[in-house]
Amino acid sequence: MNKEIISFAIQSLATLVLLSQIFLVILGAFYLYSRVVKKNKVVKSVVKFFSDNALSFAFLVALVATAGSLFLSDFAHFTPCKLCWYQRIAMYPQIILLGIAAVKNDISVKRYVLPIVGVGAIISFYHYLLQMSPIPLPCTDEVANCALKQVAPYGYITIPLMALTGFVLIAVFVLLAARTSRK
Amino acid sequence: MDENHKPTKKELKELRKLERMSATTSDSSEKVKWIILGLGITIFLIFFGFLVFMLKQNQSQAVFSIKNDGWVMGNKDSKVTLVEYGDLQCPSCKAYHPILKTLAVDYKDKFKFMFKHFPLGGHANALLAARAAEAAGAQDKFFEFHDMLFDHQEEWSGLSNVDAEAKFIGYAETLELDVDRFKEDLNNGDLLKKIKDQQSEGIEIGVNGTPSFFLNGKRIETPKSLEDFKKLIDEEAKNE
């Protein structure tokens, strides 16, 4: 029974990640379209909706990512490896930073969020590379094996890829928020 | 002076702009923001809370039937069985080794201890060590060899497979085992299958790291000290 609940949770998390990636692609396409081809009212209002509430969305991303990672370690009992811990360090404080920023409408939070997110994203990217590349990249961990893919729903969404998607989403939202403030 | 002044001016301008913006759109967009935040957090809490609640409820009830195919120490007739899924190369299993040894002496009448193999993939010599321990077990010296491996773990954990094997054969000599038979049993397919079966059983019931302990089939949070082990065993003995 427990197994089913855990795999259901992981599947939901992976689906959320998949949807986020689709969302990012569509948003990117919208952006390019309005930039390169022409201004479009619908596109503009969609982008505006997300820009206006970008900090709130970024906060929710951090919330889900943190809860997801804690769920995987404390309920699904996956032991986090060293690289996982570094990513966690970059993700967890975002809840507080972005939470306060969202309530206070404080766009200047990007100065603090972006560097941390950048570091986290780099580590996630490396970790994902390490899992996916056939050449062994260094990560020595006595307790947990970094290269081990504990889960891989949809064939490619492993835990570090979930983290990377989270970091990219937060960065995109924070940049969107900063964009509206400039106008 | 001038340079110091410039950015402040710019910031002030930005601030004013911001104020103007929020003044014109504030009411409706503030509302939307709170709706998004509220809705998001509510959905999140319901979903996550539901999952955790379900898991907690199931956790306390889960009793697994664990096969009796591990090596046993202590009172074989006892109704209390402590099972360890262990990896002979894992440092935390080594750390638990003296605690369990003391426990086995102090509580030798109160429970039986069963060791089951769970060699982790990340430890290059773990499976080999398990096979060596089983090979010693074939000559009734499993726990002697198991102790030897833990006591000298740092000697062999960093070695290549070949060197580790030579080391293990040395240990077998020290323990006065029949070395030829030991060497043969190192490649014994039946013993390998036994190890693999124990590991698959472990995976089946949710073992994901070592050491993992089960008390009468119930998963226990890895106790932190000898006293914690004793408390748990006493409690279990009372309930039986």
Chain A residues with CB inside 8 Å of B154's CB?
none
In b/e form, how buried is each residue of B209-228, taking b as 16+ CB within 10 angstroms? bbbbbbbbeebbeebeebee
User: Residues B217-224: what's their mean pLDDT?
Assistant: 86
Chain A residues with CB inside 8 Å of B14's CB?
181
Residue with tokens 């090979």: B135
Measure the CA–CA gap between A158 and A146, rounded to whole angstroms. Answer: 12
**For A9, which residue in chain B has the nearest alpha carbon?**
B51
Residue B149: the pLDDT is 93
B64 vs A167 pLDDT, higher one: A167
Measure the CA–CA gap between B27 and B10, rounded to whole angstroms. Answer: 27
pLDDT in tens, A57-98: 999 999 999 999 999 888 887 888 888 999 999 999 999 999
Measure the CA–CA gap between A100 and B3, rounded to whole angstroms. Answer: 32
User: Residues A170-174: what's their mean pLDDT?
Assistant: 95
Task: Please state the pTM of the whole predicted model.
Answer: 0.62
Given strand B212-215, what is the order of strands in its sheet? Answer: B71-74, B112-117, B81-86, B212-215, B218-220
User: Residues B52-81: what's their mean pLDDT?
Assistant: 82
Instruction: Indicate if the pLDDT at residue B7 is higher than 70.
Output: no
A26 burial type by CB count under 10 A (0-12 exposed, 13-18 middle, 19+ buried)? exposed
Inspect the interface and report whether the beta carbons of B36 and A6 lie closer than 8 Å. Answer: no
DSSP codes joined into one string, A94-129: HHHHHHHHHHHT-GGGHHHHHHHHHHHHHHHHHHHH
User: Residues A85-112: what's their mean pLDDT?
Assistant: 93
Per-residue confidence at B59, pLDDT binned at 50, 70, 90? Answer: low
Measure the CA–CA gap between B42 and B37, rounded to whole angstroms. Answer: 8
Choose the mutation target among A1, A4, A98 for the interface with B, i.e. most B CBs under 10 Å. A1
Chain A residues with CB inside 8 Å of B44's CB?
60, 63-64, 67
Residue A74: the pLDDT is 83
pLDDT in tens, A157-171: 999 999 999 999 999
**For A77, which residue in chain B has the nearest alpha carbon?**
B208
Inspect the interface and report whether the beta carbons of A60 and B59 lie closer than 8 Å. Answer: no
Residue B103 contacts residue B142 (beta carbons within 8 Å): no
State the maximum Cα–Cα separation within chain B, in Å, rounded to a whole number: 89
Residue B1: the pLDDT is 46
Reading the block at residue B131, the tokens are 């096979």
Choose the mutation target among B14, B32, B44, B51 for the interface with A, i.e. most A CBs under 10 Å. B51
User: Can you tell me the ipTM of this complex?
Assistant: 0.79
User: Residues A114-136: what's their mean pLDDT?
Assistant: 90
Residue with tokens 């290269």: A147
Q: Are strands B212-215 and B218-220 parallel, antiparallel or unpaired?
A: antiparallel
Per-residue confidence at B26, pLDDT binned at 50, 70, 90? Answer: low
Instruction: Indicate if the pLDDT at residue B9 is higher than 80.
Output: no
Alpha-carbon Rg for chain B, nearest whole angstrom, is 29
| B114 three-class SS | strand
| B116 three-class SS | strand
Mean pLDDT, chain B, as a whole number? 86
Per-residue confidence at B19, pLDDT binned at 50, 70, 90? Answer: low
Inspect the interface and report whether the beta carbons of B208 and A79 lie closer than 8 Å. Answer: yes
Instruction: Indicate if the pLDDT at residue B167 is higher than 60.
Output: yes
Q: What angle do CA A45, A49, A50 make, to 5 degrees?
A: 125
pLDDT in tens, B118-144: 998 788 899 999 999 999 999 999 999
Reading the block at residue B94, the tokens are 């080594």
